[in-house]
Structures are given as structure tokens and as C-alpha cells.
Amino acid sequence: MGYRIIILTLLSGFFAQAVKFFISFIIKKRPNFKRLVETGGMPSSHSTGVMTLSTCIGIKEGFTSPTFAITLFFSLVIMYEAAGLRRAAGRQAELLNRIVEGLYKREQIKPVRLSELLGHTPLEVILGGILGIVFALAFF
């Protein structure tokens, strides 16, 4: 039974990454295979995975069990960090990229860009969490 929970959790994260790929494909009209492994974007695969895990544990152990409480707590911490700390790091990367581009513009050198798509908006986190719950309910 434990392996089923692990597999469902991993599959839900991969599913969320695939959703990002298809959203990017629809918007940009061309495939961007980096979206399959990049962080950030809609929906949050971190949120999807941890809420799948929490929901599966709740179904198996009971929603009043200590194990569910532990997984839910850490799920909420991860979701909070995805929308807070990691999003702030992405904004800092965006600012640093602009500064560096301005410094190198005169020298005709193209600097290496920092990844700006690190965190999530609160909506991306919430929808990722909902996707994780639905995924667990559908397949557990």
C-alpha cells in the first residue's frame, strides 16, 4: 500500500509538469520541453505532489491521524514557501538579470541569465493543491 502512495505522489507531480508543458504549448504555439523539468508556472507541481501525498495518507490512515497531521503540516509549509520564498528569489533573479544586461550592454557581451521562473503565484499554488487532492481521490 505504501508503494501505491509513493507512485501516485510521483505521478501527480509528473502530471502537473505535463500540464505546464501543454499550457506553454497552447500559449506559445511551439513545444518547450524545458517546461517538463522547470520549476514555477501553472500549476505548482510541488503543491500537487504534496497534497496528493497528504490526501492519500488521510484516506489510508484517517484524517484525524497523527501521520496525516504531519504530512499536511509539511505540505502547507512547502506550498507557502513555493509562493513566498521561491517567488521572491525569482523576482530577485529578474532584477539581477536586468542589472547585468545593462552593465554588459556597452561591451556587446551576452551574460548568462539566472532562472526567473522559480516560485509560484498564490493561484498557481492553490490550483496545484486542488489538482493534488483530485488526483488522490481519483486514483487512490
Q: Is 108 domain-assigned?
A: no
Residues 7-64: tens digit of each pLDDT = 999 999 999 999 888 887 888 888 877 776 777 677 888 899 999 999 999 999 999 9
**CA angle, 37 as apex, 119 and 10 as ends, to 5°?**
95
Q: Is 107 domain-assigned?
A: no
Q: Assess whether pLDDT exceeds 90 at residue 138.
A: yes
Residues 68-125: tens digit of each pLDDT = 999 999 999 999 888 777 666 767 777 777 777 776 776 666 767 656 555 678 888 9
| Distance separating alpha carbons of residues 56 and 33, to the nearest angstrom | 30
* pLDDT for the residue 12: 95
How many domains is the chain built from? 1
Q: Is 109 domain-assigned?
A: no
**CA angle, 113 as apex, 110 and 115 as ends, to 5°?**
165
Enclosing domain of residue 11: 2-84+119-139
DSSP string for residues in 88-111: HHHHHHHHHHHHHHHHHHTTT--P
**pTM for the whole thing?**
0.76
Q: Is 95 domain-assigned?
A: no
